[in-house]
Amino acid sequence: MADAGDILIDGVPATREDLAHVALVNYGAYTSFRVEEGGVRGLDLHLERLEAEALELFGEVVGEARLRELMRRAVGGREECWLRVSLFSPEISPRTPGWTGAPKVMTAVFPPPAPLATSVWLQTRTYAREAAHLKHVATFGLIRARREAQGAGFDDALFVDGQGRVSEGSLWNIGFLRGDQVVWPRAPMLAGVAQALVQRGLEAAGRAGVTEPVAIVDLPRFDAAFICNSATPACPVASIDDLVFGPPPLEALHAAWASQPCQAI
């Protein structure tokens, strides 16, 4: 966890009032990523995400130059760390939701986390995140789903809608292998940066993926599956419910992700 010196708001140490607001008002969005050798893979995508979130949730963007400045100040010359960049406004609360303007930017620095796992056993759960295209701070539902899956003896939850269509997981995207082809589910979900980086790398290697609806009844047609997020470029899915999968081509997936260069903040 970050200590008080690691949390900045608009580039200065967080105040008690701002932290109290963030703790008590569940309205905002964020992105998070690993800093490697002072750079970030997919930084352009993280910046695009923050600007889109700011415009949709607050009515005004922060500006790429300002975001980069605040990120550099937060990293403070570290070569390796984990950076979370969050957007919020102390003007917005349940009683006063109508404020419009550029949000405040909160940065928090942590040690780089380990990958989520070396393989996962997933349980399907009927759930869809509210405003699923946003990486927002309303995490009650996904934490509950993950908690209940673990209570049932699984590692994590794979979300499906009322018609049994697969979307995403609690903290990650999922990809399926059909022969040499990667298939990404088409559904309301967060477009993950790690997902995009893996896809870019695969395309550069001549292995174009596809996006199509994936239902639970379709799962036996796939040879393998993997999950990915910014801390976990590719992790094998051992099973979904009682369906066992073979191993995915981890070396190729990791190589696709690693082929995407770090971008200077």
What is the pTM assigned to this prediction?
0.94
What residues does each domain of the chain span? 4-110, 120-264
**Res 250 pLDDT > 80:** yes
**Once rounded to an integer, what is the mean pLDDT over residues 224-231?**
97
Say if domain 120-264 classifies as CATH 3.40.30.10.
no
CA distances in angstroms from 51 to 72, 189, 215, listed in the order given: 17, 18, 32
pLDDT at 5: 53
pLDDT at 4: 47
Instruction: For residue range 81-136, list pLDDT tens digits in order.
Output: 999 999 999 999 999 999 999 999 999 999 999 999 999 999 999 999 999 999 99
> Rounded to whole angstroms, how far apart are CA atoms 47 and 72?
13
Class of domain 4-110: alpha beta
pLDDT tier, 234 (very low <50, low <70, confident <90, very high otherwise) = very high
Residues forming beta bridges with residue 116, ordered by sequence position: none
Beta strands in the chain (DSSP E): 7-9, 12-13, 29-36, 39-41, 80-88, 104-110, 120-126, 156-160, 166-169, 173-178, 181-185, 210-212, 224-229, 232-240, 243-244, 262-264
Residue 88 near residue 103 (C-beta atoms within 8 A): yes
